[in-house]
Amino acid sequence: MALLPILTYPDPRLHKKAKPVAVVDDRVRRIVRDMAETMYDAPGVGLAATQVDVHERIVVIDVSEDKSDLLVLINPEITWKSDDTKVYEEGCLSVPGIYDEVARSSQITVRALNEKGEHYEFDAEGLLAVCVQHELDHLEGKVFVEYLSNLKQTRIKTKMRKLERQPA
């Protein structure tokens, strides 16, 4: 397993739309393992392949307190969203140190493949629903800050570019 470098906003690669995974094989399972290790190390609760410059429809999520409930979503799609929304404060591994409120559907139904290539479906609400919607946005080339005002987006881009220029 290996830690993968996480792209940071406003890197243009974060806006690439991910392609469907054709076959769940050892290569894809290795990507899943590396993404999970990267997410846990960051630490985060979700990571989309787009964030590690792999432009395939792969997401890993673990919203459990003890980090023992890894959810692997390959070729995920939201098949139903509730009309009611809930506002959560979101952050993102690709936008470190930035948190802001985003309104998302409060309940969703998701269909995906697991790491064995098997279809499954589940309902989500609360933090899991928010996380799934956030990560699936990444697969579409959208970062959560794009839900914010133009002024906030400009300020965040400026801040992120300054951080990029600072020596590590």
Binding-site residue numbers for Fe cation are 92, 134, 138
**Could you tell me the CA-to-CA distances from 153 to 38, 145, 156, 157 in Å, in that order?**
26, 6, 5, 6
Dmax of the chain from CA atoms?
46
Nearest-angstrom CA–CA distance, 37 and 18: 21
Please list the residues that pair with 78 across neighbouring strands.
110
Q: At 6, list the tokens.
A: 């996480």
Question: Which of 125, 135, 140, 146 is the catalytic position?
Answer: 135
At 8, list the tokens. 């940071």
Q: Is 121 known to be catalytic?
A: no
Can you say which residues are annotated as belonging to the binding site? 92, 134, 138
Rounded distance, CA 88 to CA 5, Å?
A: 27
CA proximity to 15, closest of 141, 140, 145? 141
Q: Which residues carry out catalysis?
A: 135
